[in-house]
Amino acid sequence: MKIFDKLREVIEGLTVHGQSTAILRVKAQIDNLFMLITLGDMLGVPILPPYYSLRLMPYVFPNIQNWKRYMLRERDVTDLVS
């Protein structure tokens, strides 16, 4: 099995890796937007009443750290270029 897995990863890397990374990047952006709307409260952007948005917390929990880091990251002009 192990060798097959390795082989699969190699073929994956050669073929669809770029594609799936691009797709995941779009998904990450959508996810960020979603987090902002539902838990924006955490960063001071209240949209949903917190009583209800807390219900979503368990499902988005794993993304929270990354999302906060992404949202609170310092940005500068060079970000606009990339």
Partner 1 sequence: MKGLKGLLEENPRLKVFIYAGKGGLGKTTLSAATSVKLSSLGKKTLVFSTDPQASLSDVFEQNVFGKGEVKIAENLYVMEIDADKRIHEYVSSIKKKIIDMYKLDRLPQDIEEYIDSAAAEPAMYESAVYDAMVDVVTEGKYDYYVFDMPPFGHGIRMIAIADVISKWVDKITELRRQAYEYGRVAASLKRSKLTYEDEILQELEYIRGRILKFRDIVMNTETTAFLMVMTPEKMTILDTEKALEMFQSLGLKLTGIVVNQVYPPELASRPDAPSYLKKKVEEQKKYIAEIADKFGKYVIAVTPMLNREPKGLDTLKIVAEELWSPKKRLEDYI
Interface residues with partner 1 (CB under 8 A) are 8, 12, 16, 19-20, 23-24, 26-27, 30-31, 33-34, 37-38, 41-42, 47-62, 64-65, 68
Cβ contact 52:38 at 8 Å: no
Closest to partner 1 by CB, 10 vs 50, is 50
**C-beta closer to partner 1: residue 51 or 81:** 51
Number of separate helices (H) and strands (E) present in the chain: 5, 0
Tokens 């797709």 map to which residue? 23
Please state the closest distance from residue 3 (CB atom) to partner 1, in A. Answer: 17
- CA 11 to chain centroid, in Å, comes to 25
